[in-house]
Amino acid sequence: MLIKITDHKKENMNMKNYIYNILKENILYFNLKPGKKLKKSVFIKEFNVSRTPIREAFAKLEEEKLINIYPQRGTFVSLIDINSVENFKFVREKLEISNLIKSCEMLNQKDILELQTNIEMQEICLKRDDHVCFYKYDNEFHKMLFNCSGRADVWETINKSSMDLNRMRILSLYTNFNRPDVLSDHKEILEAVKSRNIKNSEKAMKAHMDRIVFDTEKMVNDYKNYFKLNKSG
């Protein structure tokens, strides 16, 4: 089988969205690697469906820039665009830091307990050497910070728009490059937010986001074939 299927189809989910979710997860977690050619005929057989839901799922993936569709050439998993990584790292850093100011004001005891539980789960994933599990709780940690400030929609928007940045983060975790450092960052961020210390919260988040720059240099060097390196301007 070309892909890993980790979720069963929910009763109320149409086939297009089910296939989209499965393919997206396989791209994000590098089961389908950047540059990999995707053949509709293979997925028609694997999912036992007609061409229509495959074509519709491909259209959604192309919209999120996870695949490139070239007439007469075929469909390929998109390379990770370094420009996109840098641009969305900039955007996300500004929004994350700005959000922490509101989080410091609005965080309640329930939020604190949920964030602490999340960090405990990150520790379990780290001990199990499970990078997929770790990434999911890592992402959830940041989502929770937006939720407790009343800005859940902002998180959903930036998370959906920054797929290249997300793939970079997953690749870094997959190589075990900085998982302990990421966990340490999260603990520092939580302690600063709990104490309502805006200055320390901003400093901790800035250091956390700056880690991505260092990751980029190492990942590009180790996985050159995964990246689109041309820079505009």
Assign residue 48 the CATH number of its domain. 1.10.10.10
- Tell me, yes or no, whether 168 lies in a domain: yes
Predicted confidence (pLDDT) at residue 223 exceeds the cutoff of 50: yes
pLDDT at 230: 65
Map tokens 């600063």 to a residue: 192
Predicted confidence (pLDDT) at residue 74 exceeds the cutoff of 90: yes
Average pLDDT over residues 214-218: 71
Average pLDDT over residues 181-198: 94
> Confidence class of residue 117 from pLDDT cuts 50, 70 and 90?
very high
C-beta of residue 96 within 8 angstroms of C-beta of residue 142: yes
pLDDT at 47: 92
- Tell me, yes or no, whether 9 lies in a domain: no
Question: Model's pTM, two decimal places?
Answer: 0.84
pLDDT at 6: 62
- Tell me, yes or no, whether 6 lies in a domain: no
Instruction: Please state, for a pLDDT cut of 90, what percent of the chain lies above it.
Output: 68
Predicted confidence (pLDDT) at residue 100 exceeds the cutoff of 60: yes
pLDDT at 7: 62
Task: Please provide residue 151's backbone torsions phi and psi, each rounded to the nearest 5 degrees.
Answer: -120, 45
pLDDT at 233: 43
Predicted confidence (pLDDT) at residue 5 exceeds the cutoff of 70: no
Of the ranges 7-11, 76-80, 109-113, 131-135, which one carries the lowest mean pLDDT score? 7-11
Q: What's the token pair of residue 84?
A: 């996109």
Do 101 and 199 belong together in one domain?
A: yes
Do 98 and 183 belong together in one domain?
A: yes
Do 85 and 162 belong together in one domain?
A: yes
Residue range 118-132, pLDDT digits in tens: 999 999 999 998 888
Do 130 and 33 belong together in one domain?
A: no
C-alpha 31/C-alpha 17 separation (Å) is 19
Secondary structure tally for the chain: helices H, strands E = 10, 5
Predicted confidence (pLDDT) at residue 13 exceeds the cutoff of 80: no
Query: Which DSSP category does 165 fall into?
Result: H
In the chain the beta strands, taken as DSSP E runs, fall at 37-38, 67-70, 74-77, 80-81, 227-228
Q: How many CA atoms lie within 13 A of 190 on its CB side?
A: 21
- In which domain, by residue range, is 116 found? 81-228
pLDDT at 64: 92
